[in-house]
Each structure stands twice: as C-alpha cells, then as structure tokens.
Structure 1
C-alpha cells in the first residue's frame, strides 16, 4: 500500500455546504510543517501493529499531501519504535531523511523521561543543506545542559488546592485511601524492592516516583534506579510520589515536559504562562504531547540547517 502513495492523486474539490458549490480542499502549500503523527501502533506499550494498524492511513495521507505540495521542510515526532523503513517508503523519492534520537535530558530535564525519534525531511529539489542537523543539535543541547539539570522533586509545584481539586470530594489527608487494591499492592512491592536496594525507607527519597498503571512485580516502572520520572502514557495511571504521599498532578506532569505552567518557567522562556486548570485536559496533553523544549530545539535545528532554494 505504501508504494502506491506516489501514484495517488489528492481530491482537489468537495461540495461546500457554506458556499453551495465545489470548493478547493488544498490551497497554497506550506513552507514548513511540524507534526506529531499517531504513535500507538508503534509504541512498546501497545500492540505494535505497525503498518497493519489503523494509523497507517494518517501516515499515507500526510505523505501524499506534502509530497504533492513539495513542502520544503518537514519535522515528524514519534516513538523510538517507529519503523524508519516505512518513512523511507513514503518519502525517499522526494526528501532527504535526517534522524535525531532525542530525550528530555538533552534540554536539561534529567528528572523526566521522554525518549523520541525526531525526523527532519528536507525536499531534494527545494532545499539546500547548510549544516549537519545531528551535530548542531548536539552543540545546542550541550550548551543548555551547562545551565539546567533537574531532579524529579523539582517538578513538585502543585499547591494544596490543586491536589485536592484532582481528588475532589473523596480526598482525605491520606491519599492512599483513594487507591485501588492493585495500586496499593504495587506500592507495597515497590517499597519492599526499594528497601532491599537502598536499605532505607522510600519516604526519605524526595525523587522516588512510581507508575501505578503497571503491576510492579511484572514491570518495574519507577525512578528507583533511573532517577527519572517514568515516561507518561496516554492511557493514564497515577504517578505516586512517595515522599509526599500523593500522586503527581497533571499540571506537574506538564511541568516535567517543559511546558511553561508556572510563572517562573514562563518568564525564563519569555513566553506566556500556559493556563491549564482542567486536570482532565492536562492529563490528555501530558500523555500524548511532545516535550515542549525538545520540539523547540529540533525545529530550531531544522530551520537553521536547511535553506529554501525555490
């Protein structure tokens, strides 16, 4: 199916209910596009259906559109399990492919986890390469890391009202009472493992975070050995903060993905503060989004390294 993409023709017009006539679907082509295409068919946390999954249609439509429009520069973000062969099938006739393997620690967020593939696609006829993207990315990140190096505890920013808002009227002073039996067992198993490794109580470690969406004896998803908050997932599941005897709020999750959710971070980034108070919306964003800082740096690299020629 992928090999037929270059022979496909996009539908140019469709009946418009507003104008009562056939209106154009495709206008002037863009000069640049950055997209986080669906990842669940390639994620290690999913069924890994890859090209057999439903999301193949999105990749095909995306490639068909930009190949036909001859978009000069594209940036695609996805999980590390994305099949590069599939990207080559879709784009190699028209684009040069440059792959960056990025983690949030590259931007100084050592206390968090978000390993991703970033693919820069430069049109063979419409761009000219000026610098090596991988080398420029390395140089920029090296400079950032001289100033920033976080720990999990640095993302503890939620005031009491925010924590209780997420717990709603069920909350008590001991938030463990809100956990399910399986989640409590997960905490007990993690505590036993932590004491075995470090010979101390987990409550004494301000950077200990455990993901309660997994069964601990099957998959140890915690910061106990990596010293990083585990990667967030779209399917939910609480991140439990041992030292604070509570879960991470969804705004704190966004904070670990470099979103400017506090006035201090927004000021340092010279951008407006992201006004998220809806914890359900924040959860959806943190489970599916790119790291804000990584997206900014990769786009900077792509725009510097390639010059549009026509």
Structure 2
C-alpha cells in the first residue's frame, strides 16, 4: 500500500487530493482519500517536505490505513454473512449495482403516496450520489462496496455546498434508507450509520407591517402582483400559487382546495380575511 500524488506530465499537480493505492483480495485499488495536499511538495515522496506537507501526509496515511481496515473487515463480514444465508435459506446474497439505487428506493414501503415531483427529486439526489462515488472511486460498482468513509465524504460535500440542516438531513435519511443491510442488495453494514443529522436552528422573522405590505404591493408589476397577494393570503408555495386554477378557489366559503406540488396531497387552505 502507498500514498500517491497525481501529477501532470509537467510535474504540476493534477489533483489537490492525496490518493491511496492498495490491494484487496487480488484487486488493486487507487482511491481519493479526501485529504488535501498542503505545504511545499518535495520533488518525490521519498523526500521530506515542510511541516505543513508532512502533516497532510500523516493525515492521508491515517485515512488510507482506516480505508484498508474497513475494506478488509467488510470483505470478511460479507463472506461470513453469505455462508449464513446459504446455510439457512439455501440462497446466496445478491450484489446490487449502484445503478439500482432508484429502483430500490421506489420499492421501499412509504406511509403515503409519493408525488411524481417528489420521486424525481429523490431520484436526482440518488443519481448525484452515484456520480460522486463513481467519479471519485471508479472501481466501485456495487452498493456493498460503498464504505463509511465514502458516505462521510459525500455528506461533507453536501455540507460544504451550503445546504440547510433540513435539506442535509433529508438527503442523509434518503441514503440511509436505501443502504439498509439486506440480502437483496448485498449491503452488510449501512455506510451512513453513525453520521449524525444536523441540528436545526430556529430563525425568528418579524412579519411585515400593513404599511410595509402596501409598499411591496405598490411596487409589484402586473404579472407578479397576483402571485404575491395569493401567497400572502394563503401561505402557499410560490409554485402552487403560479399554477393555481379558478376551479380550486371557493370565494363564497373563503377556501382553496389544491393538490400541493411537494407532497401531492390535497390541502384545504383558508383565505386571509383582508
């Protein structure tokens, strides 16, 4: 096993990340360790760099050692679990590919009917995770090959992208639900277990005064004014306001009955009295 720095032909850095090269069960792996190369880089890795470089090298070595340990323990656990399944049920573990993530999520039981929009959103999240894994770990083809280290790398990327706590937690819950250990996928240990959700922070906002609302309305153009007033009167989402139809509005009883775009469920929304 060895640490590597990926360089271009002119010896400049091709990647700012440390890579690790190792072999598991006869298969050679070359993996991005998620540790950034820092400091002054020596001409070769046989030489010693400055303290900042050596500190990043030590961090990369720890990451590589943990990755190898995790890969070996997972391979051993897979063999034991497969033997157990074959003894009890006469059936071997399946080895689902990463391309099956969306199908596996579709087949999970749900408390309520999923809207098409929600389904597309979840599929998109799963696809982005798959692209991240295959882009940074090209040798990974099956769900069982996804490690806890890879899961942490992805959630760190989500965090760095600036998503709020609620969105971060939704993405974590989605992937954790798909990677639940089962004979159908070959996953033995959920790689997303042990990753804590983000704590939500309460944001206190002051509502507009009547004068402020009047000023906003007076500055709206003819196209946006009805959308703004509808949202103000109903607390509906912008997309639902834009797609609202007259047949959903009951002015006599001051109610709107509309199928929401987020959940696909029908909601009865009272109109504001003003």
TM-score range, shorter chain: under 0.3
Higher relative contact order at CA 8 Å, sep ≥6: structure 1 or structure 2?
1
Q: Considering only CA atoms, is the larger Rg found in Structure 1 or Structure 2?
A: 2
Normalised to the residue count of structure 1, the TM-score between the two structures is 0.21
- Tell me the TM-score normalized by structure 2: 0.23
